[in-house]
Structure 1
Amino acid sequence: MAFSYVKRNIFSILPILVLLSITPLSSSFSPNDKVTKELVNQLCSQPTIYKHFCVAWLNSDPKTFTLDLHGLMGMVIEKTELLGYKNLAMMKGLARTTTDPNLKIPYGSCVTDYESSIKAIEGAKGFASSKEYLLATKATFEAFNTISDCEALLEQQPIPAYVSPRNLMFERMCNIDTVFTNLLAS
């Protein structure tokens, strides 16, 4: 189990580290770029992003196409934060109500992980609003990494069916936040 946890974390962050080391040199995005369907497709086609999730997520909100890229950063980070709070409430409820002693510690750790992730996302929101995209990238990556830890703790555990998809959605949103802010960091 411990090896699986370490292996999973290494393989989940490796593509992002590669992306973060390459992207700033090749980015051609500007905070003032108007968001269009073409730009959404281009942004969502970046390595490590689950394109179908990203496109559907952004296209589902009509506000998306009224923004520039800087405004889009704020919107996606805010939506990530909102889901983080919902998932934190879910984890607190599971930690409080579980009767399985083997789940008390993983749920408690996930509560702590969500609290840390939300704090990082709140920091990223401030950095992005100040156009300090490199610091926002670091904060969103921290949020992503922390939730990966939670996911690994719950792997192979008898948890309710809705928990993993919600964790995965938050993790994907954190990944999108990381990639998007990194594109503007250059």
Structure 2
Amino acid sequence: MKIPFALIKPFMLLYLVTIITFPRVIITAKISNDLISEICRKTRNRILCSKLLKSNRRAHKASSLLQLGKISMDLSKSSAQETKNMIIKLHLRTRSDHRKLKERYKSCLTNYESAIHNLKLSNNYYKSGDFAKAGRYTAAALKETTSCEQNFAESAPADLQEENRKMECLCSVVLVICNSLSGRGFCQLLAD
């Protein structure tokens, strides 16, 4: 029994499209996984870095260092804003007779407002291609998260510690990428 060519033609076309398209999907996924692994190896907390970036759909699909940097910058800004909102809630829930705790939250709030400002500046420099300045402002934002945690003599509340770690991790990703794109060292960015 002969099958008419008109019936075979759509299947051949579908087969060709699949062959041409499918390898690109595999290659892109491999590139983004390799890129994420390479960047996360250079951060302070590579396990958290991998978890945060590989669970983010946009980061998982990133096909270049520049693209992953932009995505990481967006994630850092979002994380800073979420943490700021959490600190506001913690501050409002704290009873007025817990004066020291309220002061610590207020100080952390100032830190995160400054971090958000620095990340906005960093984002502008990143978009313009000045990766060294983007790295400097990201390092300044990173220092603010450290200052927030240091406001708590013994230890910050667990949820604030977790958000600080997430923010520190995302900022370190941006720093590593800015370092790679500008050719400057991570320590030099922190020193500037």
- Structure-1-length-normalised TM-score: 0.75
One-letter code of the match for 2:85? A
Q: Indicate the residue corresponding to 1:163 in structure 2.
A: 160
One-letter code of the match for 1:164? Q
1:182 aligns with 2:165: no
1:88 aligns with 2:87: no
| d(CA) in 2 for partners of 1:138, 1:66 | 24
CA change 1:66–1:160 in 2 (3 A) is: closer
The alpha carbon displacement at 1:36 in A equals 2.6
Q: Indicate the residue corresponding to 1:62 in structure 2.
A: 57
| d(CA) in 1 for partners of 2:121, 2:31 | 24
Cα RMSD between the aligned structures? Answer: 1.7
Instruction: Decide whether the 8 Å contact of 2:44 with 2:172 is kept in 1.
Output: yes
Instruction: Decide whether the 8 Å contact of 1:134 with 1:185 is kept in 2.
Output: yes
One-letter code of the match for 2:45? Y
Cα deviation digits, residues 4-24 of structure 1 (max 9, x gap)? xxxxxxxxxxxxxxxxxxxxx
One-letter code of the match for 2:182? A
Equivalent residue for 1:146, pick from 144, 164, 169: 144
| d(CA) in 1 for partners of 2:129, 2:31 | 17
Q: Indicate the residue corresponding to 2:116 in structure 1.
A: 118
Cα deviation digits, residues 18-71 of structure 1 (max 9, x gap)? xxxxxxxxxxxxxxxx9532222111111x421111112111123222432111
Q: Indicate the residue corresponding to 1:49 in structure 2.
A: 44
One-letter code of the match for 1:176? V
Is there any run of 5+ residues in structure 1 with no aligned partner, and where?
1-33
1:173 aligns with 2:170: yes
Is there any run of 5+ residues in structure 2 with no aligned partner, and where?
1-29, 184-192
Cα deviation digits, residues 56-109 of structure 1 (max 9, x gap)? 211112322243211111110111101111110111122222111121111111
| d(CA) in 2 for partners of 1:121, 1:144 | 9
Q: In percent, how many aligned pairs have the same letter?
A: 24
Q: Indicate the residue corresponding to 1:39 in structure 2.
A: 35
How many residues are matched? 151
| d(CA) in 1 for partners of 2:117, 2:168 | 15
Larger Rg: 2
One-letter code of the match for 1:102? K
1:75 aligns with 2:65: no
- Structure-2-length-normalised TM-score: 0.73
1:137 aligns with 2:135: yes
